[in-house]
C-alpha cells in the first residue's frame, strides 16, 4: 500500500462507515484514486464459464451496488467485477446505521437490505459502461415487499442481461427476511428454472452463477449441489456473509446483519472445498470470504475455486489490494510449478474436508 492510499484510508476510518464507502466511490468517479491498471500474465489468464479473465481476482458485489464507478474499477487491476445487487424496483434498504467496522477482527457487519437504485437505472449505467478485457456482471436480488421473489430474479436478468457478461442469483443475503429460504431444494430448483428460461431467451445468453450462504449444513450443501448441476447454471459463488459471531472481539460484534472479512475465511473455504468435492469439478466455483492476501486467494484456489472475489479486506488495505493479490498469486503459481490457475484448482481440497 502506498503512502497516499494509507492516508486516504486513515481519513475514511475517522468517519461513519457508510459515508466513507460513498466517498470512496465518489473519489473513483472523479478520477482522484491512483489505479494499478491491468494485471495479467500467461499464468493468471483464466477461463471461467466461458468468460476470459485477465486474472482470477474479482471484485465482489456490494461495493458498487449501483454501477456508478465502473470505468475506474475496470482500471483497478481486477480480473472481473460484479455490481449490485439490483432489484426490480428501487428500494432504500434498512434504516441507518447499517454498516459497522470491526477493526479488531478485520471484519465488517452490514444489514443494508438490498438498497439500490432499481434495475432500470442500473441497467442504463451498465449499457453505457466501457467494454474491455474485464468482464462485468450483475448480482440479482429481490424486492423486500415482493409477492413473488423468485420471479424478481428472472425479471432483473430479463432487463439487464443484454448489458452484462454474467449474472449471479443472490438467495443468500441474511438481510432480507426469509430470502435464504429460497436455498431449499424445491424452491431453489423452481427459482433457477425461471432464471434459466430467461437466460435462454437472451440474444446472447450469459453465464448464471448462484451465490450461497456459509451457514449451510452438509445435507443442505449436497442438495444445492444436486440442484445446481441439474439446473444448467454456470457455477456457484461460495460464500456470502455469515450470521455466526464466533470469536469476535469488536464492540460491534452483537450488531445484526451479515459478517464478512477475516473471521469468515475458514468457514467459507470449508464450504467451498465441500462443494468442490460434491460437484467433482463439474461446476466452476468462485471463492469468496475473508481473502486479504495472495496466500489466502491461493488457498481458495487450491480448495477448489477457479476464481476468487474480495471486498471487505479493501476497507483495511485499500482499492489496490486486488492488484497486489493478483501479482502475488502469479508468484505463488510460478513457485509451485503451475502453468495456469486451472492446474492449481482443487489440488489442496483435502486439507479443508
Is 22 marked as a binding-site residue? no
Phi-psi region of 160 (alpha: psi -120 to 50; beta: other; left: phi over 0): alpha
Read off the pLDDT of residues 265-315 as tens digits, 9 standing for 90 and up: 999 999 999 999 999 989 999 999 999 999 999 999 999 999 999 999 999
Report the candidate in 20, 61, 8 with the shortest Cα–Cα distance to residue 260: 61
pLDDT on residue 180: 79
pLDDT at 33: 93
**pLDDT number for residue 3:** 85
**Nearby residues of 330 by Cβ (< 8 Å), 6 or more positions away:** 41, 43, 44, 55
**C-alpha distances in Å from residue 183, one per residue of 93, 213, 226, 277, 291:** 22, 9, 12, 19, 24
Residue 50: its pLDDT value, please?
97
End-to-end CA distance of the chain: 34
139 is in an annotated binding site: yes
Q: pLDDT value at position 123?
A: 98
In this prediction, residue 262 has a pLDDT band, given cuts at 50, 70 and 90, of very high
Nearest-5° angle of CA 211, CA 178, CA 148? 85
Report yes or no: 215 and 243 within 8 Å, Cβ to Cβ.
yes
Q: Which of 122, 132, 191, 128 is nearest to 159 (CA)?
A: 122
Q: Report the half-sphere exposure of 339 (CA within 13 A, side-chain side).
A: 0
- Confirm or deny that 144 is annotated as ligand binding: no
Average pLDDT for 44-63: 98
Q: Report pLDDT for 329.
A: 98
Listed residue (69, 62, 67, 61) closest to 32, CA to CA: 69
In this prediction, residue 222 carries a pLDDT of: 95
Mean pLDDT, rounded, for 111-126: 98
Query: In the predicted model, is pLDDT for residue 178 greater than 90?
Result: no
User: What domains does the chain contain, in order, with CATH numbers?
Assistant: 3-346 (3.20.20.70)
* 180-192: pLDDT as tens digits: 788 889 999 999 9
Check: CB of residue 234 under 8 Å from CB of residue 166: yes
Average pLDDT for residues 251-275, to the nearest whole number? 98
The mean pLDDT value for 58-84 works out to 98
Find out whether 64 is annotated in a ligand binding site: yes
Is the pLDDT at 1 greater than 90? The verdict is no
The reply to whether 55 sits in an annotated binding site is no
Whether the pLDDT of residue 338 is over 80: the answer is yes
Mean pLDDT of the chain: 96
Residue 176 above 90 pLDDT?
no
- pLDDT of 228: 96
26 classed as catalytic: no
Q: What pLDDT, on a 0 to 100 scale, did the predictor assign at position 68?
A: 98
Tell me: is residue 234 an annotated ligand-binding position: no
153 annotated as ligand-binding: no
143 is an annotated ligand-binding site residue: no
Angle between helices 185-201 and 149-160 (to 10 degrees): 20
Q: Which of 24, 172, 173, 276 is catalytic?
A: 173
Q: How far apart are CA 284 and CA 110, in angstroms?
A: 28
pTM reported for the whole predicted model:
0.97
The answer to whether 269 is a known ligand-binding residue is no
Amino acid at each position: 500500500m502506498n503512502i497516499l492510499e494509507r492516508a486516504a484510508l486513515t481519513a475514511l476510518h475517522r468517519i461513519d462507515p457508510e459515508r466513507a464507502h460513498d466517498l470512496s466511490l465518489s473519489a473513483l468517479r472523479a478520477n482522484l484514486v491512483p489505479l494499478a491498471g491491468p494485471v495479467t500474465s500467461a499464468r493468471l489468464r483464466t477461463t471461467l464459464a466461458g468468460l476470459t479473465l485477465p486474472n482470477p481476482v474479482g471484485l465482489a458485489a456490494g461495493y458498487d451496488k449501483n454501477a456508478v464507478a465502473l470505468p475506474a474499477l475496470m482500471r483497478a487491476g481486477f480480473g472481473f467485477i460484479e455490481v449490485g445487487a439490483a432489484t426490480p424496483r428501487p428500494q432504500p434498504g434498512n434504516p441507518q446505521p447499517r454498516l459497522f467496522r470491526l477493526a479488531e477482527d478485520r471484519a465488517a457487519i452490514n444489514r443494508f437490505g438490498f438498497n439500490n437504485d432499481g434495475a432500470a437505472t442500473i441497467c442504463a449505467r451498465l449499457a453505457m459502461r466501457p467494454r474491455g478485457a474485464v468482464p462485468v456482471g450483475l448480482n440479482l436480488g429481490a424486492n423486500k415487499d415482493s409477492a413473488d421473489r423468485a420471479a424478481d430474479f428472472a425479471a432483473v436478468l430479463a432487463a439487464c442481461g443484454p448489458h452484462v457478461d454474467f449474472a449471479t442469483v443472490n438467495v443468500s443475503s441474511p438481510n432480507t427476511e426469509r430470502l435464504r429460504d429460497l436455498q431449499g431444494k424445491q424452491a431453489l430448483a423452481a427459482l433457477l428454472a425461471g432464471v434459466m428460461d430467461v437466460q435462454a431467451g437472451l440474444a446472447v445468453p450469459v453465464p448464471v452463477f448462484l451465490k450461497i450462504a456459509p451457514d449451510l449444513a452438509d445435507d443442505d450443501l449436497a442438495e444445492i449441489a444436486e440442484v445446481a448441476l441439474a439446473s444448467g447454471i454456470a457455477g456457484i459463488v461460495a460464500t456470502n456473509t455469515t450470521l455466526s459471531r464466533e470469536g469476535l472481539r469488536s464492540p460491534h460484534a452483537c450488531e445484526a446483519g451479515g459478517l464478512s472479512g477475516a473471521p469468515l475465511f475458514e468457514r467459507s473455504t470449508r464450504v467451498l472445498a465441500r462443494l468442490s468435492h460434491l460437484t467433482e469439478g463439474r461446476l466452476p466455483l468462485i471463492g469468496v470470504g475473508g481473502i486479504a492476501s495472495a496466500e489466502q486467494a491461493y488457498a481458495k484456489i487450491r480448495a477448489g475455486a477457479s476464481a476468487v472475489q474480495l471486498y471487505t479486506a479493501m476497507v483495511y488495505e485499500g482499492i489496490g489490494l486486488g492488484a497486489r493479490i493478483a501479482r502475488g498469486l502469479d508468484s505463488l503459481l510460478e513457485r509451485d510449478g503451475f502453468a495456469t490457475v486451472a492446474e492449481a484448482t482443487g489440488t489442496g481440497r483435502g486439507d479443508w474436508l
